[in-house]
Amino acid sequence: MKKLIVILLLSFLVQAQPSKIDSARLLEDVRTLASDAFEGREAGTAGGRKAQDYIIARFEEIHLSRFGDSIRRPFLLPGGREAANLIGYVKGGKSPDRYIVVSAHFDHLGIRNGKIFHGADDNASGVAGLLACAAYFAAHPPQHSILFAVFDAEEKGLLGSKAFFADPPIRPDSMVVDLNLDMISRNHKSEIFASGLHQNPSLRPIVQAQQARADLKLRLGHDIPGTGIEDWTNQSDHYNFYLAKVPYIYLGVEDHEDYHKPTDTFEKIDRDFFIAAANLTVDLATAFDRQLK
């Protein structure tokens, strides 16, 4: 019996993947962004600007480089209110003029009928995962440069990523791949999808290699039109990368019962799943960095 216990323990130690991220900070970032103080982070509102200020402070804490004088890149919404994307990067050592993009939108639905739409999973989780990924690569310099793009006004029609390509900080043809994070913190089946391989088949071997290593169920799909299964190609900011002919992978979960409801709160997040998803983000970005030209 003791021998069996030792064998099982050794098996667990061999299989378990060490965490690459600061799990406590990951959870604190999503808790903060989904709190009442940010009023649902609607683009063009005081809550949205407060979220911008928080993310900018985190970019500065991580010591991301900036393009030009500011992390903040403002643009106008229909009707004249101002929104802003937040852009920083880690310079690559071997291929500094080739960029992997990690993206996530920070805005949500704000306050409606007196209720705050907290947007913990959608998409405070993606922003927190992006920040964890940025901190990792700031401490472990990559071969390619990695651009971290936090988009505003996704919920209003992917307007932040559209503005990004209207005035890009780098040439689109220097973007090797976009890894877009949108809803990565909970799923009752412990499944997360990497969508986009139908459009970007060259990425398939890299993504499939992560399926065996991930500490959750990494599934492929939601990217083939006309199959009767929801096609996510135009469902988040990766769509504007697709239109610009930049290869992409969209990492996210299927909709749950709290999607676009005030009940999408920090308390509903599956902490173990979320930490595993954030580590998967680092693993995918690392694999892209090592294997793409």
**CATH number of domain containing 52:** 3.40.630.10
* 42 secondary structure, DSSP code: B
Tell me the residue type at 111: I
| Nearest C-alpha neighbor of 253 from the set 232, 282, 279, 229 | 232
Could you tell me the two tokens for 277? 């998803």
Instruction: Quote the pLDDT of residue 15.
Output: 42
**Residue 12 counted as domain residue:** no
Q: How far apart are the first and last CA of the chain?
A: 51
**Residue 98 counted as domain residue:** yes
Q: Are strands 115-116 and 111-112 parallel, antiparallel or unpaired?
A: antiparallel
For the chain, the domain total comes to 1
How far is it, in rounded angstroms, from Cα 101 to Cα 104? 10
**Residue 14 counted as domain residue:** no
**Residue 13 counted as domain residue:** no
Could you tell me the two tokens for 128? 């927190």
How far is it, in rounded angstroms, from Cα 180 to Cα 163? 16
Instruction: Quote the pLDDT of residue 10.
Output: 35
Q: Are strands 191-195 and 248-252 parallel, antiparallel or unpaired?
A: antiparallel
Instruction: Quote the pLDDT of residue 13.
Output: 37
- Tokens 């043809």 -> residue: 173
Instruction: Quote the pLDDT of residue 190.
Output: 97
SS3 151: strand
**Residue 145 counted as domain residue:** yes
CB atoms within 10 A of CB 19: 15
Domain span holding position 205: 19-291
Local confidence pLDDT in tens for the 293 residues of the chain: 444 333 333 333 334 567 899 999 999 999 999 999 999 999 999 999 999 999 999 999 999 999 999 999 999 999 999 999 999 999 999 999 999 999 999 999 999 999 999 999 999 999 999 999 999 999 999 999 999 999 999 999 999 999 999 999 999 999 999 999 999 999 999 999 999 999 999 999 999 999 988 889 999 999 998 877 899 999 999 999 999 999 999 999 999 999 999 999 999 999 999 999 999 999 999 999 999 99
**Residue 82 counted as domain residue:** yes
Could you tell me the two tokens for 119? 């947007």
Instruction: Quote the pLDDT of residue 194.
Output: 98
SS3 158: coil
Provide φ and ψ at 291, rounded to 5°: -110, -20
**Residue 5 counted as domain residue:** no
Complete DSSP assignment for 188-203? TT-EEEEE-TTT-GGG
Instruction: Quote the pLDDT of residue 213.
Output: 87
**Residue 8 counted as domain residue:** no
This prediction's pTM? 0.93
Q: Are strands 95-105 and 175-181 parallel, antiparallel or unpaired?
A: parallel
